[in-house]
């Protein structure tokens, strides 16, 4: 049973805690059990971020948790194989594929998989057993429960997730693909936490796909901590393509050492409510971070990207480009913040958020922010909300291109600026295709997924 020493205060969010079953979440792993107590305490104090919380100003996460759902602390009994229900259809994409189902690593074997060069991949729970020193040294170093209720809830509930370790000097030739699947007969809440560690001079690419395989009202929150060592390079691409009753929350924390390079791409194509937190700390001199995002939303979908880049060392570079197209009654939000700490001189930081509204019912809120405490810096940010360029549209039409096609072309071009930053070629091609389909309204999901798509 979860240790709750004091009586729960009358707070709406405690309903979540009350739903913890007896006997679940107990004795999973000493480390996880230990942090759970503090996390619960913090969660009780903080609750789910509500409208008053500046960082969640434009996304009402709290409301979603009012409805009943089942929290999962242990994997359900599985009576299916992943290959039966899901198969990634990017034909030319040769990846090492791993699956997390309902927040639990889907194990083919009991131990962590050891790849050539000493790369370890597997479930977090297994990693804590098998390589405790390594995993414990890094776990929870980046996220904290002091001021973020969602992180606290994740830490209290998540008992498994993904683990990857790339030792010093190892350059992985194949991207690793992590597929987060959610499938259940009930409305479940899924919480998982992952840990990715890159040593010095290492290189890796990670593709994360979030999919919901049945139409229940799921809530999923995946927290991932990524440590990138000196001179290492990492590319993370996240693809969100889920149905409209899905709430997909994600928190990605990245710490970069000296001269490391990280590039993230967050592509949101479908989803009921999407909230992506990206938190980057540039810890070592000369670190470089590029964060790209693209969201194409329609109906009553909501997407909120929150990016925080912390320049904690001099001579670092960061660049963010987030672009969005909002159709129907979709709402979008962007909350970006660049913090340049004192002494982080010679910082170069750039941030751009561009949005297109297609209907009068779509809505965009954007909040690009700079907080700068060092003087020898170059920082800019910009945000626009507008429509397609009428002159460009006229140009195309005057050359005999149908208005509909012309609009599609322009939107495609708008999105291209982000997609071209995906450096894995087959993946880039595939996402181009997906986006093109999405813009034409023809995309239910990666279409060869074997499960029927329910609207």
Tokens of 33: 């059990």
Minimum distance between the CB of residue 251 and another protein, rounded to whole angstroms? 22
Stretch that binds another protein, among 39-47, 127-135, 363-371, 397-405 (CB under 8 A): 363-371
Q: Is 376 in the site for another protein (CB under 8 A)?
A: yes
**Which listed residue (299, 343, 423, 440) binds another protein by CB under 8 A?**
343
**Which listed residue (22, 185, 375, 391) binds another protein by CB under 8 A?**
375
Distance CA 104, CA 125 (A): 9
**Which listed residue (21, 380, 392, 394) binds another protein by CB under 8 A?**
380
Minimum distance between the CB of residue 386 and another protein, rounded to whole angstroms? 4
Tokens of 449: 């997924």
Distance CA 265, CA 322 (A): 9
Q: Cα 386 from chain centroid?
A: 26
Minimum distance between the CB of residue 118 and another protein, rounded to whole angstroms? 43
**Which listed residue (100, 357, 419, 434) binds another protein by CB under 8 A?**
357
**Which listed residue (4, 28, 31, 358) binds another protein by CB under 8 A?**
358
Q: Which residue shows structure tokens 């683990």?
A: 163
Tokens of 304: 């909120």
The half-sphere exposure of 163 on its side-chain side, counting CA atoms within 13 A, is 26
Q: Is 362 in the site for another protein (CB under 8 A)?
A: yes
Our CB check for another protein shows the closer of 385 and 396 to be 385
Tokens of 183: 């499938």
Angle between helices 149-157 and 30-46 (to 10 degrees): 150
Minimum distance between the CB of residue 275 and another protein, rounded to whole angstroms? 18
Around Cβ 187, how many Cβ atoms within 10 Å?
14
**243 with 215: CB under 8 angstroms?**
yes
Minimum distance between the CB of residue 387 and another protein, rounded to whole angstroms? 6
**Which listed residue (387, 405, 420, 423) binds another protein by CB under 8 A?**
387
**190 with 103: CB under 8 angstroms?**
yes
Our CB check for another protein shows the closer of 372 and 408 to be 372
Q: Which of residues 240-299 bind another protein (CB under 8 A)?
A: none
Our CB check for another protein shows the closer of 379 and 393 to be 379
Dihedral (Cα; 329, 70, 210, 365), 10-degree rounding: 30
Enclosing H/E stretch for 375: none
Q: Is 73 in the site for another protein (CB under 8 A)?
A: no
Q: Is 195 in the site for another protein (CB under 8 A)?
A: no
**Which listed residue (63, 110, 373, 453) binds another protein by CB under 8 A?**
373
Dihedral (Cα; 428, 431, 437, 440), 10-degree rounding: -80
Our CB check for another protein shows the closer of 105 and 322 to be 322
**Which listed residue (345, 393, 408, 451) binds another protein by CB under 8 A?**
345
Site string for another protein, 24-63 (x = CB under 8 A): ------------------------------x---------
Nearest to 299 by CA among 437, 452, 447, 455: 455
Minimum distance between the CB of residue 320 and another protein, rounded to whole angstroms? 14
Q: Is 87 in the site for another protein (CB under 8 A)?
A: no
Our CB check for another protein shows the closer of 131 and 374 to be 374
Nearest to 344 by CA among 319, 317, 312, 369: 312
**Which listed residue (342, 391, 399, 452) binds another protein by CB under 8 A?**
342
Distance CA 13, CA 70 (A): 14
The two most distant CA atoms of the chain are separated, in Å, by 73
Which phi and psi angles does 49 have, rounded to 5°?
Answer: -55, 130
Our CB check for another protein shows the closer of 185 and 375 to be 375
Tokens of 208: 């994360």
Residues recorded for the chain: 455
**Which listed residue (3, 94, 382, 413) binds another protein by CB under 8 A?**
382
Q: Which residues bind another protein (CB under 8 A)?
A: 54, 342-343, 345, 355, 357-360, 362-387
């Amino acid at each position: 049973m979860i240790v709750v020493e004091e009586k729960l205060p009358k707070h709406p969010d405690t309903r979540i805690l009350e739903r913890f079953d007896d006997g679940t979440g107990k004795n999973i792993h000493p480390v996880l059990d230990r942090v759970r107590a503090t996390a619960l305490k913090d969660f009780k104090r903080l609750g789910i971020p509500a409208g008053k919380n500046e960082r969640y100003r434009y996304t009402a996460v709290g409301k979603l948790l009012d409805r009943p759902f089942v929290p999962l602390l242990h994997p359900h009994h599985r009576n299916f194989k992943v290959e039966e229900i899901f198969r990634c259809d990017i034909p030319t994409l040769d990846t090492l594929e791993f699956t997390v189902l309902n927040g639990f690593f889907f194990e083919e074997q009991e131990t962590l998989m050891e790849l050539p060069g000493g790369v370890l991949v597997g479930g977090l729970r297994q990693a804590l057993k098998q390589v405790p020193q390594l995993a414990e040294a890094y776990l929870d170093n980046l996220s904290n429960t002091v001021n973020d209720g969602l992180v606290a809830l994740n830490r209290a509930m998540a008992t498994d997730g993904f683990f990857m370790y790339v030792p010093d000097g190892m350059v992985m030739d194949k991207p690793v693909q992590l597929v987060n699947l959610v499938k259940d007969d009930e409305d479940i809440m899924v919480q998982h936490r992952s840990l990715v560690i890159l040593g010095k001079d290492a290189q890796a690419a990670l593709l994360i796909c979030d999919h919901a395989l049945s139409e229940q009202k799921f809530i999923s929150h995946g927290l991932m901590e990524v440590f990138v060592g000196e001179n290492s390079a990492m590319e993370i691409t996240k693809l969100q393509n889920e149905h409209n009753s899905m709430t997909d929350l994600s928190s990605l924390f990245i710490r970069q050492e000296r001269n490391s390079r990280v590039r993230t791409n967050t592509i949101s194509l479908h989803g009921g409510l999407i909230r992506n937190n990206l938190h980057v700390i540039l810890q070592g001199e000369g670190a470089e971070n590029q964060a790209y995002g693209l969201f194409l939303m329609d109906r009553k979908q909501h997407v909120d990207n929150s990016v925080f880049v912390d320049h904690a060392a001099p001579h670092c570079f960061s660049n963010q480009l987030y672009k969005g197209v909002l159709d129907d009654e979709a709402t979008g939000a962007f909350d970006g913040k660049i913090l340049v700490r004192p002494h982080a001189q010679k910082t170069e930081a750039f941030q751009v958020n561009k949005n297109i509204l297609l209907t009068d019912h779509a809505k965009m809120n954007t909040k690009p922010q700079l907080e700068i405490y060092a003087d020898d810096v170059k920082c800019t940010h910009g945000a626009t909300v507008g429509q397609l360029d009428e002159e460009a549209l006229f140009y195309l039409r005057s050359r005999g291109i149908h208005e509909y096609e012309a609009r599609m072309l322009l939107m495609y071009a708008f999105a291209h600026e982000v997609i071209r930053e995906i450096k894995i070629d087959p993946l880039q091609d595939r996402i181009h295709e997906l986006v093109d389909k999405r813009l034409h309204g023809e995309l239910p999901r990666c279409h060869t997924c074997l499960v029927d798509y329910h609207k």
